[in-house]
Amino acid sequence: MRALRALDSEKAQLPPTSENLNDDRLGRALENLEHRSEEIETNLALRVLLEFGLCSSRTGL
């Protein structure tokens, strides 16, 4: 397991290449995010409101 983590961290430090950009893992991760985009957007908006103390009545939410 350590070897895989070391390989992943080493790979993360390398500049993007066509091999890295065409990695199926990236595509699968983006597909998984697509199914949850509404949930992610809602959570992000709520987090911003809470973090910056914004009133939702002024933002139109």
Q: Length of the chain, please?
A: 61
- 53 φ, ψ to 5°? 65, 35
Determine the pLDDT at residue 35: 85
Domain assignments of the chain as residue spans, ordered by start: 2-59
Whether 57 has a pLDDT exceeding 70, the answer reads no
- Say how far apart CA 23 and CA 57 lie, in whole Å: 43
pTM attached to this predicted model = 0.43
Determine the pLDDT at residue 44: 92
Tell me the per-residue pLDDT of 5-44, one tens digit each, with 9 for 90 and over: 554 555 556 677 777 666 788 788 888 888 889 999 999 9
Residue 23: which region, alpha, beta or left (left: phi > 0; alpha: psi -120 to 50)? beta
- Say how far apart CA 39 and CA 44 lie, in whole Å: 9
- Say how far apart CA 46 and CA 44 lie, in whole Å: 5
